[in-house]
Structure 1
Amino acid sequence: MARWHRVFRRWVLARHYRFAREALVPHFFDALTAYALELSRLGVPHAKEAVAALRELRTLPLPSFTGEVEDVFFSIEAQLLEHWGEEVAGALRRGLSRNDLDLTVFRAYLKDRALLLLGDLLRLRKALLARARAHFGVPLVLSTHHRPAQPTTLDHYLLGVEALLARDTERLFRALSGMDRSPLGASALAGNPYPVDRRRLAHLLGFAGPVEHTLDAVASGDYALELAAALALLGTSLTRLATDLLRWAEAGAFLVGESLAQGSSFMPQKRNPVVLEHARIYAARLLGGVGTLLALNHNTPFTDLNDHSTGVLEPLSELLEAGEGALELLWVALEESQFVEERLLSELSPEVMASEAVDLLVRKGLPLREAYARVKAALPGVRPETLGVEREELLHWMGLEGFFARREVLGGAGPRARAEALSEAERRLKEDQKRLGALRARVRAARFLLARGLEDPQAEEGQEGEVG
């Protein structure tokens, strides 16, 4: 008689096993190898043989789900039992719980995915800055409340978007720092009965350090909520950029590349900017993740997170995939499309410059309320005879060159201010690239050693001793 009911097999065991087999197996071997190395250092019998066994076993394909074992960990253990015997397989189980093992694996997997996403985000920021430099000083009119408002320049707009994405980057780095802590050695919840060095275990796995409190390590789960929240905020930023690009595409001011556009099955004149529509769809998916993660954690006892943590992992994996899709599609849209400069300024009119006329009258000594009312009465067209100023003076004051020259405040649309902002944004991006590179290098170095069953000779030495 089969041990597992077919419904339970279908919706729980087989589903989770399939996900773990496809996505988590390397991280299971990393965590188990680090743990075996630590037990070997402590002198646990047969732990050294377990390190060698794991090194060999990780090169072989893991069996598909058959129902004989319930998850990937027990599948690995079954092979250790079959090929290396009870003593080797048993050595690996000394003090180890699936609680700390699974949570370590989940964090390592999500950390890898978050590093990939951060790379995509930095690439999009780089593309925005490249476009800002290429279109430096190109004027355009931006809207507020869906109506033409004020002129600025394309580089000023792109730098504003990049500044928002730089904060999204920082939020993801903060979420990553929460994931970058290892639960290994916490055991079920009260701590390991063997004197394992949890800081050393974290170091071996390429984590910044351990989650220090053993119950917190296996019960909290806020690292997943922080990631979902950071992704939701990124999603809102990306949808706003996509919406603006779609608006410009509608006006013919942003011409999507041929390889990213689709025609109509009925209307031959259509060149639809569908890459932007799909980017917005992927970005929109990021917004709902926080609700899912909050619901999974809400009212869960503080000793029972591991029972639903695979349920946390799968939606987070889907969110990260959606984030990658949105970022890559927006990046390629910027790379393969063109801004049509003359179309960006199509909404320029005397009305758009009306606030400058108000400022001119105020500078001449008119009270602000009276100047505002007089300019409003002079619309449409801002007629100089109504304002009581010379036509040439008004035209000069309301020109784009003067408009930008008067806005040399920090972060403003003036040429010097924009140049300084661009230089600062490029510096900030380089710092973030270095930061990401250092994190990736740490993970790669740890993974290289673990795949070979080796310890980092620079790892902090703990107390040695035989453990029976």
Structure 2
Amino acid sequence: MNWHPVYLKAVLGPDYAYAQTHLLPFFLAALKAHSLGLLSVGTPHAQQAVTGVQALREFMPPAYDPGVEDLFFTLDRELSRHSPVGAGALRTALSRNDLDMTVYRLSARSHLMRALDDLCLLRRTLLALATRERATLMVAHSHHQPAQPTTFGHYLLAVESALSRDTARLHGALERLNFCPLGAVAMTGSSHPLDRAYTAELLGFSGPIENTFDAVSAGDWQTELGGVLSTCAVNLSRALYDLLNWAAQGLLTLADGLVQGSSVMPQKRNPVALEHARTRFSKVLGYAQALTFSNHNVPYGDINDPGTDAQEPLWLMWQDFSQGVQLLNASLEHPVIDREHWRGTAEHGDTTLTELADTLARQTGDFRQAHAVAQALLKKLHESGRTLQQATDDDVRALGVEVPGGTVAAALNPDVFVQRRTTLGGPAPEPMRVQLEQAELRLREDMQQQASWQADFDAAHKRLWADSPALELT
């Protein structure tokens, strides 16, 4: 085939380079599983195919040769040099359609497991920091306005809780991804005998995709991964917004090595690691959209849009997600927290007024009235040029509510505010202890599940290549 120069430059060359760099180990694994499957059903010369694929592990594919269409045919040509009959046997009941889709799922599974490891490491860092900062006072905002005192640890547990749900979503995506297209051939299976369950097992899949048309056509696993990573990236970007805001106020400072100075301003410590993490998560959203559009409004069948052309944005999405999580994790391992500065934001302002209203409601039994009294008190204080912290019991009595001595001072104390929030999930010490224990348990269970999956995949990989040295899947 004399390929057009534009097609070579825009499609075949880049696709070959991508497959050579990122997909070669998965091609070899899928071909080895197929050869063993052929051997198990008695296909002639299957043993030569098995031996030939085994030998391919020592083969380093050359730079792209326009005379050979893609990486598969490069491997096929190399195999035929050693064993023409083995190469011929390997092509039995095999199409690039089912082979490619198997390779793409193996690659995605590997990246997904690494993303889960990164995410769990970040959750571990968040829990360690939450434990350390569980008594660090801060002001929580609602609608961009100071709202109520809480603790930095309480905030961090909220972020970790969202990430635990993201982990569960990734687990679900992995369970649906982990089915094998191999044996679907072009799309209708084969008239040759095949044991698709056996080849799926060899590759560590949960089983074969039951419909052969679906096996080579499905792209929903890609859009699901894009959706799940987008959800997680959005969650993380919201936390990054807060972290950058706090860094701008001097409430939080990143460790050396994660900040950059200025060529002009000697005092600058720019939290660039957080900025780069935010950019990585923004790019995740873009690549996820690319996956959606690659699968949108195209025929349900074997087609390049959700096949070959979707692989690079899929890989870039994994790369940027992983880098973003790792940057955020590094930033949160050893940040410097100005606890006194944080405390000052809680001690000065109006954010403890809710507790005064709650205190008055416990006395009067009418929160509407208590809310109105607290609001009127704040108005009078502001009109007289006083702060909420200067309010006294007499100020409340002047509004027609009798209170015991010390009521106002206690209610307006931010430490007391936090200590009284004993509701399940609140920032008081006891519910925080419970939350930390539950979060630690969830994380342990998630990591155990991931370790179990990884052990299964590693065991399958070891069995597949039992008679040759292991090749790292990257």
Q: Using structure 2 for the length normalisation, give the TM-score.
A: 0.92
Q: Residue 216 of structure 1: CA displacement?
A: 1.0
Equivalent pair of 2:253/2:335 in contact (CA under 8 Å): yes
Secondary structure of 1:283 counterpart: helix
Q: 2:396 aligns with which of 387, 402, 405?
A: 387
Distance in 1 of aligned mates of 2:246 and 2:439: 24
Q: Which amino acid aligns with 2:137?
A: P
What is the aligned partner in structure 2 of residue 44 from structure 1?
43
Distance in 2 of aligned mates of 1:438 and 1:194: 35
Distance in 2 of aligned mates of 1:192 and 1:422: 54
Offset from partner CA, 1:130-181 (integer Å, 9 cap, x none): 1111223222111112221111112111111100000111111111122211
Please report the RMSD computed on the Cα atoms of aligned residues, expressed in angstroms: 1.6
Structure with the larger RCO, 1 or 2 (CA within 8 Å, 6+ apart) = 1
Structure 1 vs Structure 2: percent identity of aligned residues? 39
Identify which range, 204-213 or 102-111, moves more after superposition: 204-213
Distance in 2 of aligned mates of 1:367 and 1:410: 24
Identify which range, 300-309 or 281-290, moves more after superposition: 300-309
Offset from partner CA, 1:71-105 (integer Å, 9 cap, x none): 111111011112222x1111001111111100000
Distance in 2 of aligned mates of 1:74 and 1:287: 34
Closer, same or farther in 2 for the Cα pair 1:390/1:250, shift >3 Å?
farther
What is the aligned partner in structure 2 of residue 458 from structure 1?
none
Offset from partner CA, 1:8-28 (integer Å, 9 cap, x none): 001110010000000111100
Distance in 2 of aligned mates of 1:401 and 1:5: 73
Q: Which amino acid aligns with 2:225?
A: L
Distance in 2 of aligned mates of 1:378 and 1:239: 39
Secondary structure of 1:346 counterpart: helix
> Are 1:304 and 2:313 an aligned pair?
no
Q: Residue 305 of structure 1: CA displacement?
A: 3.4
What is the aligned partner in structure 2 of residue 460 from structure 1?
none
What is the aligned partner in structure 1 of residue 12 from structure 2?
13
Distance in 2 of aligned mates of 1:160 and 1:224: 29
Equivalent pair of 1:52/1:453 in contact (CA under 8 Å): no
Please show how residues 366-445 of structure 1 align to structure 2 within 5 Å: 367-379=366-378, 380=382, 381-382=387-388, 383-384=391-392, 385-388=394-397, 389=403, 392-445=406-459
Equivalent pair of 2:136/2:343 in contact (CA under 8 Å): no
Please show how residues 116-131 of structure 1 align to structure 2 within 5 Å: 116-131=114-129
Distance in 2 of aligned mates of 1:77 and 1:218: 21
Q: Residue 366 of structure 1: CA displacement?
A: 6.2
Unaligned runs of 5+ in 1: 455-468
> Are 1:317 and 2:326 an aligned pair?
no
Q: Residue 327 of structure 1: CA displacement?
A: 0.4
Identify which range, 379-388 or 104-113, moves more after superposition: 379-388
> Are 1:287 and 2:288 an aligned pair?
no
Count of aligned positions: 452
Please show how residues 183-262 of structure 1 align to structure 2 within 5 Å: 183-262=181-260
Distance in 1 of aligned mates of 2:342 and 2:198: 57
Q: Residue 192 of structure 1: CA displacement?
A: 2.3
Q: Residue 49 of structure 1: CA displacement?
A: 1.1
Q: Residue 391 of structure 1: CA displacement?
A: 6.0
Distance in 2 of aligned mates of 1:300 and 1:450: 36
Q: Residue 390 of structure 1: CA displacement?
A: 5.5
Please show how residues 58-97 of structure 1 align to structure 2 within 5 Å: 58-85=57-84, 87-97=85-95
Q: 1:156 aligns with which of 147, 154, 157?
A: 154
Q: Residue 307 of structure 1: CA displacement?
A: 5.5
What is the aligned partner in structure 2 of residue 25 from structure 1?
24
